[in-house]
Amino acid sequence: MRGMKAAIAFLLVLTVDIADGNAGFHNGWTGACDGCHGSLAGASFSALQPGATTSEICLRCHAAARPEDYQVATSPAPPHGVPPASLTPGGDFAYLTKQYYWSEANGARAVSPGERHGHNIAAPAYGYFPDATLTSSPGGTYPSDALSCISCHDPHGNYRVTDSAGTVTASGNPVTDSGSYGASPSATDAVGSYRLLAGRGYGTRGTSHEFVYDPPIAVAPREYNRGEDSGDTRVAYGKGSSEWCLNCHSGLSNWQGSAHLHPSGVALGEAIAKTYNHYVKSGDLSGNESGAFTSLVPFQSGDLTDVQQLASITTSHAGPKPDDKVMCLTCHRAHASAFDAITRWNTKETVLTVNGGYPGTDAVNQGSDPGAAGGKTRAEYRVAMYDRAPSHFGRFQRSLCNKCHARD
Ligand code: HEC
Ligand code: HEC
Ligand code: HEC
Ligand code: HEC
Ligand code: HEC
Ligand code: HEC
């Protein structure tokens, strides 16, 4: 009976794989050319077309009504009151379609528009349009109307890591495996860059913009699209994680004198690392280093370049050492989130929980003020927190800036 079940399960997997032809498409580098070029991709696509339709080509495989694994967009866009379902580290692009409205306690109307929730890649068929407010990357010059999946990811996966010192090149030893899960390069074989991210010298044909920083060295766990109530999905970010974002946001590298509020790419130091490790939640500083990690406030593990070392960190719950760093992805997600400025938690309100529960438009008479909910129901708010129960936080949890600064 058991063998039978296993056989059926195996057959099912096989059929699904054959049916969508998707299993291991890129494998760290260029997938089958006709996956994106030619007839399979639909008559409208040619490699000569500009950014807009490019994202749609990617989304044919990377969006789904019930997204799993590598699917990074819920499509069709979920209706009002229903949250996007993908819970990857990068986040679900369907947040770009979510407009949240509410009335403040004083009656004023407030809005958190979809275009504030992510990188607005142009993909009209999915309801994603270029950002109408930020017409180029803040702190940089990348034109918003050229923003697509391949602005950041090299569709041909040419960038590769060739040794344990984290050397990245765009040609050389052949790529034989994905570089995202801890496979090591050897003397003869390279691995792809983390998440096929582009590096130095890269540009798409839609713009004259050129990258100056190589992709980060990082490792994700194999299972990375999941709720985090019973455990965090830990990406181990190594060397170059902060610098990579500067490819388009160079002006934000030096926070002093810039509009941006926070340093990035700097070591936490003794005192801040200690605070992170002791901080459990508002009012509770009884934690210790071995269990301190939360993926809502990740950090860069020093300047590690060895993917095997990074892979071992993906299963650890330990907090930072003093030479670990605060980085852009400490506070932001790479794709999209439920909050303005693509932040991992709501940085605009005082509290993240109200009397032990999440705030919500459906919980105003439980003492939750409408601003705290930011136009979301309690259920939507919980998904925005990657499906964590509110019991992970203090009864009136303050901003997670406190994980490092403990000013609550
Ligand atoms: C994951 C999708 C994808 C796959 C797989 C893919 N390509 Fe492309 N290719 C693109 C996109 C998107 C562009 C347009 C790039 C741009 O606008 O800068 C492109 C552009 C090109 C170009 C134009 C020159 C350039 O690099 O901009 C050539 C040639 C090309 N691809 C060849 C191939 C070959 C050969 C394969 C198979 C080995 C392949 N591609 C596989 C997405 C893909
Ligand atoms: C024919 C379906 C298909 C198309 C088209 C496609 N992908 Fe993928 N993609 C997959 C599958 C399947 C995976 C997971 C397995 C793998 O990595 O190959 C994946 C994985 C990825 C990953 C993670 C890879 C890793 O090793 O960490 C990235 C990043 C990605 N795709 C980006 C893109 C971009 C950008 C485009 C458009 C230029 C695109 N994909 C087009 C099917 C596709
Ligand atoms: C602004 C740059 C940027 C754009 C635009 C972008 N990505 Fe990503 N993507 C990233 C980064 C950075 C990561 C790694 C996130 C992490 O591990 O925290 C990532 C991760 C991924 C992953 C792994 C799963 C995850 O979400 O962590 C996939 C698959 C992927 N991207 C596909 C896409 C597709 C498809 C598009 C277009 C619809 C796209 N990306 C647009 C930067 C970008
Ligand atoms: C400690 C948390 C934190 C870190 C680290 C951080 N940010 Fe931010 N960032 C924020 C917050 C919070 C906002 C929203 C500020 C506001 O709306 O007033 C923001 C806003 C932004 C904006 C929007 C600015 C605008 O003019 O609309 C960009 C772009 C940005 N950050 C990029 C980055 C990049 C790139 C890095 C790394 C070099 C980075 N951030 C590091 C917290 C952070
Ligand atoms: C290929 C260029 C490119 C890269 C690389 C890039 N960004 Fe952006 N980013 C943009 C553009 C263009 C905008 C403005 C358009 C938009 O917001 O959709 C933007 C906007 C933002 C915003 C403001 C969002 C809002 O609406 O308030 C934040 C925050 C941000 N980026 C963070 C990051 C972080 C963090 C990284 C690294 C993981 C990164 N960016 C990498 C091009 C880029
Ligand atoms: C991962 C840890 C971490 C998180 C989370 C964090 N910070 Fe920081 N913060 C730092 C570090 C490290 C410094 C630099 C300290 C130094 O150079 O002495 C810093 C410095 C600052 C400074 C002083 C900047 C200056 O000009 O010297 C302010 C203000 C600040 N953080 C506010 C915030 C706010 C607001 C948030 C939440 C949006 C936040 N921090 C989240 C680690 C963090």
Q: What is the pLDDT of residues 205-244, one digit of tens each?
A: 889 999 999 999 999 999 999 999 999 999 999 999 999 9
> How many CB atoms sit inside 10 A of residue 254's CB?
12
43's CB contacts (< 8 A; 6+ apart) are none
Structure-token match 């969508």, residue found: 20
Asked if residue 217 has its Cβ within 6 Å of ligand 4, the reply is no
More confident site: 316 or 252: 316
- 219 three-class SS: strand
Task: Give the residues surrounding ligand 1 with Cβ less than 6 Å away.
Answer: 30-31, 33, 35-37, 47, 54, 150, 155-156, 204-206
pLDDT in tens, 366-390: 766 778 999 999 999 999 999 999 9
- Give how far Cα 14 sits from Cα of 8, 17, 60, Å: 10, 5, 20
Residue of 25, 75, 153, 214 with the most ligand 3 atoms within 8 Å of its CB, for mutation: 153
**φ and ψ of 331, to 5 deg:** -110, -25
Q: Whose CA is nearest to atom 28 of ligand 5?
A: 341
Q: Whose CA is nearest to atom 39 of ligand 5?
A: 245
Per-residue tokens: 317: 């719950």
Residue of 249, 261, 264, 331 with the most ligand 5 atoms within 8 Å of its CB, for mutation: 249
Which residues on neighbouring strands pair with residue 237, listed in sequence order?
218, 300
Asked if residue 137 has its Cβ within 6 Å of ligand 5, the reply is yes
d(CA 329, CA 352): 19
What is the β-pairing status of strands 175-177 and 190-192? parallel
> How many CB atoms sit inside 10 A of residue 365's CB?
6
- Work out the burial of residue 50: count CB atoms within 10 Å of its CB; fewer than 13 is exposed, 13-18 middle, 19 or more buried: middle
d(CA 252, CA 254): 6
d(CA 102, CA 39): 46
Asked if residue 207 has its Cβ within 6 Å of ligand 5, the reply is no
Q: What is the Å distance from ligand 2's center to 58 Cα?
A: 7
Mean confidence (pLDDT) of the chain? 89
pLDDT in tens, 123-133: 999 999 999 99
